Structure 1
Amino acid sequence: MKLFDFLAMGRIKWLWQYANTEGDSPNRVKASAKGKLFTNSKPNDEGFYRVKAIKGKVDGVKIDELLPAGTGIPGNVDPITGTPYLGDNRLRPKSFNDSEAQLTGGGIIFSLKDANYSNLFFGNYPPQPSYYEFHTAPPYPDGLVPPNTQSFINFNAWISEVG
């Protein structure tokens, strides 16, 4: 089957992984995750594909579900304005240009089987733009306060199968 035949079928399977680059955080052991992402087959004008489903584990805990684009995870809000940070579930292939991130500032949002949530995103913060994971746990306080954590991560995703 040729590539354009696979694209006509409407989805792309990606493999993904990340690891915490900071070591142990005060509230959480070193984070690591891996799994599969499924996207639509056509990118937008900036090369981002819409993530439609996610499978995998974070620190050994199974991912429950991808949350809809345009929603936020509990506790991931601006502590001053109370405005939630919204995920957009967009992903693009790794570029040869390191300044082009695979994730957006909204990032990928999902729930875990243990009632926790994660938001993987690219933060264009000085002095060094980087990938982050915002992880929230009950009782889901607003902002970056325990038990919520935000960690630098090494994120990578690659196309595994088109079809």
Structure 2
Amino acid sequence: YSGTGIAANGTFITNDTPNDLGFYLITGITGTRNGEKITGLQAPGTPMPGNEPFDVDDLISLNTQQLTGKGFAYSTSEGHYSSPFFANFLPKPGYLEMFSAPTRPGLKNLGLEDSELPISFSATIITIP
């Protein structure tokens, strides 16, 4: 995915069978965001640090809307967190990325170094034999 000042790419590992709405559970992630190595996937049902109390669900689909409103989240090698999600509450629904850099003890929710910006998001399937 990408946006103003944002360049992220990588690979998801998912379960093999989608749910009734066509969403697969992401179980692993590798890649980079703005040159920082992605180091971990946030567990479903928990919030990304700096974005409490908004839990992620780690679901992705090959349908037109590829992420849910909860999205997925990951950590990077520099201690940052990112969470792409589908924002159906916007006048023109689309994807946003919540970015958090919780560098100060006790930091909760949006701080000066955090952002929520529009992104373009696209995922394709690669089957590994």
Whether these two folds match at TM > 0.5 is yes
Q: After superposition, what is the alpha-carbon deviation per residue over 1:60-89, rounded to whole angstroms, capped at 9, x for unaligned?
A: 000001111111111113xxxxxx100000
Partner of 1:11: none
Aligned residues: 127
Q: Where do 4+ consecutive residues of structure 1 move more than 4 Å? A: none
Q: Within 1, Cα distance between the matches of 2:92 and 2:108?
A: 25
2:50 is aligned to 75
AA at the equivalent of 1:116 = H
Contact 1:123 1:132 in 2 (8 A): yes
Instruction: Say which SS state the counterpart of residue 156 (structure 1) adopts.
Output: coil
Identity of aligned residues (%): 35
Equivalent-residue separation in structure 2 for 1:128 and 1:141 (angstroms): 31
Q: Where does residue 10 of structure 1 map in the other structure?
A: none
Please say if residues 37 and 51 of structure 1, whose CA atoms lie closer than 8 Å, have aligned partners that are also in contact.
yes
Structure ID, larger Rg: 1
Q: Which amino acid aligns with 2:56?
A: G
TM-score (norm 1): 0.74
- Rounded Cα–Cα distance in structure 1 between residues aligned with 2:17 and 2:116: 31
Q: Determine if contact 2:22/2:63 at 8 Å carries over to the other structure.
A: no
CA–CA distance in structure 1, aligned partners of residues 111 and 126 of structure 2: 37
**Greater relative contact order: 1 or 2 (C-alpha under 8 angstroms, separation 6 or more)?**
1
Of 90, 99, 106, which residue of structure 2 is paired with 1:135?
99
2:123 match: secondary structure: strand
Deviation of 1:41 after TM superposition, in Å, equals 0.5
Structure 2 unaligned residues grouped into runs of 5+:
none
1:92 aligns with 2:61: yes
User: Given the alignment, which residue of 46, 69, 73 partners 1:109?
Assistant: 73
Deviation at 1:146, TM superposition (A): 1.0
Q: Which residue of 2 aligns with 1:15?
A: none
Conserved 8 A contact 1:94-1:157 = no
Measured after TM superposition, the shift of residue 142 of structure 1 is: 2.6
